[in-house]
A = this chain, B = another copy of it.
Amino acid sequence: MNNQIPEDVKENLDSSVLPDEETGATEFLGLPDETIREISNALFEENTEQVDTLLDDLSTSDKAELIEKVTGETRRTLMMGFARHFDADVIPVLDEEVRTGVLENMPADQVAKILSDLDSDDALDIIAPLDTEFQQEIMRKLSAKIRLALEEGLSFPEDSAGRLMQREFVAIPQFWTVGKTIDYLRAARDTLPDDFYDLIVIDPSHHVVGEIPLNKLVRSQRSVKIDSLTLDEVHSIPATMDQEEVATLFRNENLASAPVVDDSGRLIGIITYDDVLFVIDEEAEEDLLKLAGVGQDDLYRTIIPTAFARSRWLFINLLTAFLAASVISLFDATIEKIVALAVLMPIVAGMGGNAGTQAMTVAVRAIATNEISGANAWRVIGKETAVGVLNGLVFALLIGLIAGFWFQNPGLGVVIATAMIINLIVAGFFGSSIPVVLNKFNIDPAVASSVFLTTMTDVIGFFAFLGLASLFLL
């Protein structure tokens, strides 16, 4: 553990220096609501000068946040009237739903101009969600080189490495030396990509031989051969690899960047850690929202498309709710005689649903992060079932006592206690096994698990409770 502060700096240390104020955290917390209000007010009062002044003070990410948080109308006013503040840097940072809306209000040649200023991965990201006709119109306004690059990019599957990569990279031949490499970098300084972290070492046929992190380059003498610095392990990523796998690779191998290769193993681009950060965010959000039956980017969608997207999920839930209702209707005669059953039955079903959701969420997350596979799936399911048994016993006792005293009916207490044990075991078993089985059949467990699970816990909860009551309490 060594702090790399050179000795001659240490000697110059001035220990009498006073603490400064610059370390406050607030500056990073994003755009203050007050600024948004000030800008909205200035717009309302048509005080363009003040709007300009306020916008001048904002960083790129602040501007993106502003555009996302204002109303659709204010957004249009800003993008049209103050276009100079919202340049090519702001557009890629915007939420996809918002961005697509903004771009579809622009003429194709303005969009083309923005795309030309961007790295190839950002440009691809922006053009991909636009509608095909508008895409074609924009493509016609682009230079042949950029158009070809974008067309090839669009030919890769969505969420693949090919969509994620940028075509701007620095590749060097293995027979060079450190000195020659540095001379080359200095000579080519203005045509190099803005940011890069590794040099890709290639052979004469463009096949990737290895990578050299820049920090290895800068600490080596000029005479050292590139060959001798090249890392043994090459992490070439096929362009068709799914972005989730790319993220796993970066995580496991601690990569800052990795080369992307085509079918024949030739270098066609690189993926950098910031692309991966984006993927991890996106995948985590997807899983969370899918579990609740919500599509991505829902926050920025307008009312009618949102309602429509949500209604599909509600419709599926309606079907399972009617299934549960039909189970209850089997026992309507019993309920007529003992109304307490109607009062208590949602407790049994609801506790099962909650316990099942706990087990299911753990399983869905573990599958997404590759922590469950054939090797331990049965162990996880067994453990969740055992947890169901334990909590089933505890809550059965509790609910049995409360229900028995409430309705002055010990038999009812025993029946609800038994039903509770059954349903919590069901919850543990199915909560963990449904995601595993769905995953086995290549169905996304985040999307489909909870429908199957609540159907099970509702149907079995009502059936066990009302069925036992019919048998023993009538």
Contact = CB atoms under 8 A, between A and B. Distances in A.
Contact of A387 (B1, B262, B310, B349): B310
A276 B149 CA distance: 31
Contact of A264 (B12, B20, B195, B264): B20
Interface string A310-328: 1101110110011011101
Contact of A215 (B146, B192, B379): B192
Nearest to A66: B375
A146 B1 contact: yes
A450 to B, nearest CB: 9
Interface in A384-409: 386-387, 390-391, 394-395, 398-399, 402
A251 B280 CA distance: 12
Nearest to A348: B321
A248 B23 contact: no
B205 A13 contact: yes
Interface in A161-199: 167-173, 182, 184-186, 188-189, 191-193, 195-197
Oligomer copy total: 2
A390 B299 CA distance: 17
A76 interface: no
A113 interface: no
A24 interface: yes
A37 interface: yes
A301 B81 CA distance: 57
A136 interface: no
Interface in A262-307: 262-265, 267, 273-274, 276-277, 280-281, 284-285, 287-289, 291-294, 298-299, 302-304, 306-307
Contacts of A281: 251, 280, 284, 369
Contacts of A380: 299
A242 to B, nearest CB: 8
A33 interface: yes
Nearest to A294: B358
Contacts of A30: 248, 252, 370, 373
CB-CB nearest 6 A-B residue pairs: A284-B284, A12-B204, A19-B264, A292-B361, A342-B342, A61-B252
